[in-house]
Amino acid sequence: MKGLKLIAAVLSMCLAVLALGYRLAASSRNHVANRLNDSPAGGEVARDLSKLAPPAISSYRLDASQSKFIAHAFAGGLFWFKGHDHLVAVREFTGEARLDPASLAGSSLELDARTASMEETSSVFTDAQKKIINKELHDIVLLPDQYPDIVFRSTRVTGNRIDDLKIAGDLTLNGVTRPITIPTRVTLTGNDLRAQGEFSIDRSDFKVKATSAFHGLVRVRSKVKFEFDIVGHRSSS
């Protein structure tokens, strides 16, 4: 019986020592952690560790005033007058780009351009000629009263780097929606996003009328090449 009591006493002492050691170790860890957080170096370590977390998805509001979006038509292409190229700028548009650096497939683009804001900008034309060209664009080709917006909604973003993306989506023009893919180069500077690229569409796919009516300054052919250099600003929300 005395032997059993002795064994029980020894076991109890061992358990007490283990418990005390655990408490001391926990106290030491907490003390070191508190000292680390309070020190300048500790703050830097904490900030460095926070950088390991996946970056959040960022939204950027497109800024037409700092962007260029132009329909470029060569002589004998979409628009033709006296052998000169036409540069038709989209002056007004809104939209949002969402960028997910951790998974580019989670990124997206939405853009709404005002058809009535499109106008001839080439310096080879006089102001009087531009006035006639713009009237034909609006009254015969683009029909802004009937189709006030040109809309793009992305459905898929692919690529291994943000400077080499392919943005697939649906383009609605002249009341017709067709899928297109836009190769895009994206760069980030501070809170600004810049997207550059070009793509082409076929006029007939969107049932845009071919015409040489009115003064005959605008003659619609097949291909339209759009070039863009669009700036967006990160949203605060």
Mean pLDDT, each 10-residue run in order, the chain (237 residues): 46 44 47 49 48 71 97 60 76 96 91 96 90 86 93 96 96 96 96 96 82 52 87 88
What's the rounded Cα separation, in Å, for the pair 194 and 12? 70
Question: What is the pLDDT, as a whole number, of residue 124?
Answer: 87
Q: Which amino acid is at 73?
A: A
Q: Any idea which fold 58-234 has?
A: Lipocalin (2.40.128)
Q: Show me where the domains of the chain are located.
A: 2-50, 58-234
What's the rounded Cα separation, in Å, for the pair 195 and 152? 15
Please answer whether residues 159 and 195 qualify as being in contact, where contact means their C-beta atoms are separated by less than 8 angstroms.
no
Give the side-chain half-sphere CA count within 13 A for 84: 17
Question: What is the pLDDT, as a whole number, of residue 85?
Answer: 74
Question: What is the pLDDT, as a whole number, of residue 185?
Answer: 97
pTM for this predicted structure: 0.72
Question: What is the pLDDT, as a whole number, of residue 195?
Answer: 97
Question: What is the pLDDT, as a whole number, of residue 55?
Answer: 60
Provide, for the chain, the percentages of residues in helix, strand and coil under a 3-state DSSP scheme, each rounded to the nearest 5.
30, 40, 25
Q: Where are the beta strands (DSSP E) in 43-116?
A: 58-73, 86-90, 93-99, 108-114
What's the rounded Cα separation, in Å, for the pair 215 and 185? 39
